[in-house]
Structure 1
Amino acid sequence: MAQSTATFTVEGIDSEDDSHAIADELGEVDGVMGIDIDPESGEAAVKYDEDVLAEERVKITVRELGYDVE
């Protein structure tokens, strides 16, 4: 298992509910091992198994929820 962390900013988070919704959705993605999202800054750190999942898939999942990723 090759663990990595994707760190990025999520634009459009307006509340803790938004960050929880993103974390819940990412938690369902195979290979995601941990999620930390700061609802105030939008900073996200997602730990994942790169043998199972690509960083771009993490970002695509967030975009599919209607948020911009930087």
Structure 2
Amino acid sequence: FLHMIAQRKFSQEDKDLFKPIVNRLLNEGDPFFVLADLEAYINTQNRVASLFKQPEEWTRSLFTM
């Protein structure tokens, strides 16, 4: 995901919009460990988004989480 940000996939009009964030995370350290669980966060968010499209399953999951 970070490589997509670095390749400017999310900032078509302003190519340098996220450059400071990428530089900071990669070159100046990651004091809050943002990158440590980024992949797990993305995977979980994808599961939630998919589940939300299924109202019955979504409701059921609210009581089993």
TM-score (norm 2): 0.29
Rg larger in 1 or in 2?
Answer: 2
- Larger helix share, 1 or 2: 2
Which of structures 1 and 2 has the larger relative contact order (alpha carbons within 8 angstroms, sep 6+)? Answer: 1
- Larger strand share, 1 or 2: 1
